[in-house]
Amino acid sequence: MNLWYRRDDPDDSQPGSHALVIGVSHYRYLPDSPEDAPPSGAGETLGLANVTTPAISAWRFANWLTAADGFNQPTAPLASVRLLLSPSSAEIDETPALGGLDENTVATPTRDNVLDALFAWRQDCNRRRGNIAILYVAGHGIQLSKDDSLVLLHDFARARRAILDAAMDIGNIWRAMATPNAAARQYYFVDACRTRPGLFDAYLTTPAGVALDITKEGALDSAPIFYSASPRSLALGLPAEGTLFCQALLDCLKGNGAELDAAGEWVVGTGSLLRHLPATLERLAACHQATQTTVIGGQLRDAVLHRPREAPDVSLGIKVSPQEAAGHAHCTLADFNGETVYDQEPVPTEITLNVKAGLYALQLAVRDGDQPGASVLRPFMARPPSHREEIRL
């Protein structure tokens, strides 16, 4: 299987970021609905059926990685992306590009194909300590703990196979990747529906078919695992947009999850994702009148994954009261380079602006006839995604 993306000028002497991206919506041996009979050749299906959002989620994540305004990490530029997808017909209808994938570069996520990709990905990641390993996987799954989960692959439920033969053991992979020469920064995003408790109890003492040997353990700089682990999580998203978890993750990566690093630059890393991904996902789920949470495991020391190319956008709201004063006020808003971004007189009681994140100085002055009156200077920090200031004159 060839890489879906390879850096044009691979400089093997420099660290790079290597991604393995897997999305399983269509399962070879599962029916489209739990009420339907499974296809021929199926064994025990545990009552599971095909889903309609994991493949488009993985596709969107992979495209963000390679986009011009996407993943940016100067210390380890994107070097490779391995992509394995099995889209549903609903996803292909919404995103026709998913129907014409080249099997040479986007393989079907069967047990054997994923094993091949996994070993190759590990080999790339382990080549340099400064590399970054990124694993994104979406599909049916079962979560056992914050660190351990199983994700079911395209040929799950094949007759005459052990039930976990086509399952990927995320906890095992995470532990096996923590070797002394491994990529020191590793990020795991597991977008797997949390199946019914008890469904897999009888099989949890058997190994999964997609796993790695665990050798000598070593310390890493950071290796968080972010799970979307709510029941029905794969059903809440739309075939055109992907899972809510993927939408929330991309929202954070595009800037809403950015925070300042020690040098004063905006970055997205372990710490900022810990802080912003759960809240972003909760907000999105609330729009669907549902609750969905992020479960976070792994090694959680802070490290930078991505540096947005410019400061994130902030929706800034300024409320001025009382109304009478606003009608006689002069308002200026300047960033800390001294550049004026808003200058208005009189001002409305509610000012809404889109600004770049950063420090601002807000000045409001009220005229008392021809004489200068009360004046307020309010410095503040505008952080994504939104910031609100209330000024009472």
Partner 1 sequence: MNDTAQASLTVIVPELPGGMLPISLRDMRMRLLGTAFTGQPLQLAPGGYLLQLDTPDGNIHSVVTQLEAGDDKTIEIPVGDTTGLAERWERRLAVERTPREPEIRSLDNDITDFSSNMPVGAGAAWMGGSGAPPPIGFTRLWTVDDGEWRAVGDPEIELLDSATTPKITRAKAEIHAFGTGMLYAELKKTGNPPVLVALPMARGSAIDSCRLEVVDDGDTLKATATLLQSERARLISDYLQNSAVEKAAELLNDAESLLQAKLQNPLEAALGGYALLRLDALPALHTWPKNLANWIGWLPDGAIIHAEQMARQGDHQTAIEYLLKAGKRGLPMFNEGLDLLIGRLRDYVLYRRDDSIEEAHSEALRALLKRLSPWSSAMNPEPLTLVIEGRSPCDDGAADGDWTPISLTQQDSHDD
Least distance CB 280 / partner 1 (angstroms):
11
What is d(CA 167, CA 38) in angstroms, rounded to the nearest whole number? 18
> Smallest gap, in angstroms, from Cβ of residue 52 to partner 1?
23
From the list 84-92, 167-175, 232-240, 322-330, the region that binds partner 1 by CB under 8 A is 167-175
301 lies in the site for partner 1, by CB under 8 A: yes
Q: Rounded to the nearest whole angstrom, what is the least distance from the CB of residue 235 to partner 1 in the complex? A: 16
Q: Is 229 in the site for partner 1 (CB under 8 A)?
A: yes
Residues in contact with partner 1, shown as a per-residue x/- string from 118 to 157 under the rule CB under 8 A: ------------------------xxxxxxx---------
Binding mask 250-289 toward partner 1 (x if CB under 8 A, else -) reads ---------xxxxxx------x--xx--xx---------x
| Total number of residues that touch partner 1 (CB under 8 A) | 60
> Is position 388 an interface residue for partner 1 (rule: CB under 8 A)?
no
C-alpha closest to that of 210 among 255, 252, 160, 172: 172
What φ, ψ does residue 267 adopt, rounded to 5°?
Answer: -140, 155
355 binds partner 1 (CB under 8 A): no
One of 33, 40, 205, 354 touching partner 1 (CB under 8 A): 205
Site for partner 1, rule CB under 8 A: 142-148, 169, 171-172, 175-176, 197-198, 200-201, 204-208, 211-214, 216-217, 219-220, 227, 229, 259-264, 271, 274-275, 278-279, 289-291, 293, 295-297, 299-302, 336, 358-359, 379-381, 383
